[in-house]
Amino acid sequence: MVVNYDQVMKLALERGFYFPSCEIYPDAPAGFWEYGPTGVNMKNKFVELWRRELVRRDGMMEIDGSQIMSRSVFVASGHIGNFTDPIVKCTKCGSTFRADRYILEKTNENVPERMADNEINGLIEKHNLRCPNCKGEFGSVSRFNMMFRVGIGPAAEEAYLRPETCQAIFVDFARIFKTMRGRLPLGVAQVGKSFRNEIAPRQSLLRLREFYQAEIEVFCNPNRLDEMSKFDEVKNTILRISSQDGGSITETTAHEAISKGLIPNKLVAYYLALLTLFYAKTGVDVKRSRFRKLSDEEKAFYASVAFDFEVETSIGWLELVACNYRSDYDLKGHGITSKQNLEVFDPTDQKKVLPHVFELSMGIDRSIYTILEHCYYEDEKHDDRVVLRLKPYLAPILVGILPLMTKDGLGQKARKIHSDLKFEYDTFYDESGSIGRRYRRLEEVGAPFAVTIDPETMQDDTVTVRHRDTMLQERVKATELRQYIQDALAAARN
């Protein structure tokens, strides 16, 4: 069975996982999607799992920063300078091109990032470059910045929607470190929205203009990247590391990856291992994942070493997490621009150090899509029933509560059981249609358990618990149902 993007998309739309933003209006812009009731529930649980497996496990600190930030932040971060691409537009057909790339391709002449627009115009003129589509003349170079600019207050002070959540962490670092009595290495985490004015947003949750990130910035002493006692906890975790072109994948323990030189140090290996363990718990098939080391051309402007955590899906390899060693790029930039000293004291060295940063920048929306696709299952043995085999702790509905019929007090009894459980768990009560149909509906939204109230319940106060994947049922005392669910959930987690 091959699951494809369209099947996942259809399920997502039909079952309220996500859908286009502003869809009742004809001018709804592309690149904006909303999470519906099932989707937001699953997303919340995904974030909670992330907290559990990464933030709490590692003793990180979580913050929630502003989405709109001042111009200075992005001058310091380099986004004002580097996030702008020089573009040229054909005056005849309107096609636009990256000026620097086009010149390099046609003339082999390198255009440095900082080259002024009029110099680039000069190059186009010198080589008499024309539009490849229609041979039309190019207009003069302009700049495209991927950041959304906003105006604050009546004077419309220049500011920007953050293009990545992490700048808040860098800007707040000094205060967090001081007030929370931080010690290196220190992980600071944040979940929130970022905004990028993508030229061509596509494929629903996979390339959005407004999207969720879960970011972790680990501040560390660059001289102590191999001094990590907690590395031993994960040293035998299997990492799948691929070559730059993604061709061959090496499976090796975190420990061996370092000795083979695939990963530069223990700190990086430790977090790549945590990330692998986390994704295994999301239900993503980690056997279809890889850490791909990026070439210099592919890396972001701030990264010195970068691994992308990528997962194989029906539409190809998809980048879910960017793991960037940002060195002191950010704190140095903010230190200079703000004129603040962002060094911290490292008691081991008895001296001040400007921390380096290793980052795990996770795309939540893409992860949600991947989980849906990897958990989507058509059961050929049972009429091709569609089962979303979500982990119980990610399922939008944990327990469906279904009276076999409503008469003879079964409906009443079932509603009673429902109200006993609904405060603690995500439950769904359903008495309409045949029992089989109701089971199938629950399977499609990934509910792992269905509790059925039948005539026997009225005799001995037992109910059946039906398991989504196996379709097997077992009888449980109604009074022990809550405990049963709690145990099942705990068993799934560990």
Partner RNA sequence: GCGACGGUCGUCCAGUUUGGUCUAGGACAUCAGAUUGCCAAUCUGGUAACCCGGGUUCAAAUCCCGGCCGUCGCACCA
DSSP 56: I
Q: How many residues contact RNA, by CB under 7 A?
A: 69
Q: Which of 18, 160, 369, 439 binds RNA (CB under 7 A)?
A: 439
CA triple 464-373-359, angle to 5 deg? 115
Instruction: Please report, as residue ranges, which positions from 145 to 164 form the binding site for RNA (by CB under 7 A).
Output: 163-164
Measured on CA atoms in the order 446, 447, 448, 450, is the torsion positive or negative?
Answer: negative
Q: Of the two residues 252 and 473, which places its CB atom closer to RNA in the complex? A: 473
Rg (CA), the chain: 26
- Least separation, in Å, of the C-beta of 345 and RNA? 30
CB closer to RNA out of 97 and 160:
97
What whole-number distance in Å separates Cα of residue 267 and Cα of residue 273?
Answer: 10
- Which residue in 51, 385, 415, 422 binds RNA (CB under 7 A)? 385
Residue 404 touches RNA, criterion: CB under 7 A: yes
Question: Which residue of 305, 435, 488, 492 would you call a contact of RNA, by CB under 7 A?
Answer: 435
Residue 437 contacts RNA per CB under 7 A = yes
Q: Closest CB to RNA among 234 and 401?
A: 401
Selected binder of RNA within 129, 464, 481, 485 (CB under 7 A):
464
Other C-beta atoms closer than 10 Å to the C-beta of 470 total 7
Residue pair 174/343 in contact by the 8 Å Cβ criterion: no
| Interface map 10-49 toward RNA (x if CB under 7 A) | x--xx-----x-----xxxxxx------------------
If one asks whether residue 322 binds RNA (CB under 7 A), the answer comes out as: yes
Q: How many residues does the chain have?
A: 494
Look at residues 349, 361, 368, 463 and name the one whose alpha carbon lies nearest to residue 417. 463
- Toward RNA, which CB reaches closer, 192 or 346? 192
Give the neighbor-by-neighbor strand order of the sheet with 142-145. Answer: 96-98, 84-89, 142-145
Measured from the CB atom, is 6 or 229 closer to RNA? 6
CA 75 to chain centre: 26
Q: Which is nearer to RNA, 79 or 391 (CB)?
A: 79
- Pair type for strands 249-253 and 289-293: unpaired
Phi, psi of 381 (to 5 degrees): -75, -15
Binding mask 351-380 for RNA (x = CB under 7 A): ----------x-x-----------------
**How near is the Cβ of 62 to RNA at its closest, in Å?**
20
Helix pair 37-50, 364-375: axis angle to 10 deg: 110
Closer residue to RNA, CB minimum distance, 211 or 484: 211
The strand pair at 385-388 and 399-403 is best described as unpaired
Which residue, among 375, 236, 264, 281, has the nearest Cα to 54 in the 3D structure?
281
| 185-224 positions binding RNA, by CB under 7 A | 194, 196, 198-204, 207, 211, 213
State the amino acid at position 140 in one-letter form: S
CA dihedral 397, 403, 409, 415 (to 10 degrees): 0
Q: For RNA, which is the closer residue by CB, 66 or 252?
A: 66
Residue from 236, 340, 433, 483 touching RNA (CB under 7 A): that is: 433
How far is residue 218's CA from residue 232's CA, in Å, rounded to a whole number?
18
Q: Does 86 bind RNA (CB under 7 A)?
A: no
Nearer to RNA, 75 or 300 (CB): 300
**How far is residue 417's CA from residue 427's CA, in Å, rounded to a whole number?**
10
Distance CA 18, CA 40 (A): 8
Whichever of 194 and 282 has its CB closer to RNA, that residue is 194
Residues that bind RNA (CB under 7 A): 5, 10, 13-14, 20, 26-31, 83, 85, 89, 93-98, 101, 133, 163-164, 194, 196, 198-204, 207, 211, 213, 300-302, 315, 322, 361, 363, 382-383, 385-386, 404-407, 432-437, 439-441, 444, 452, 454-455, 464, 466, 471-473
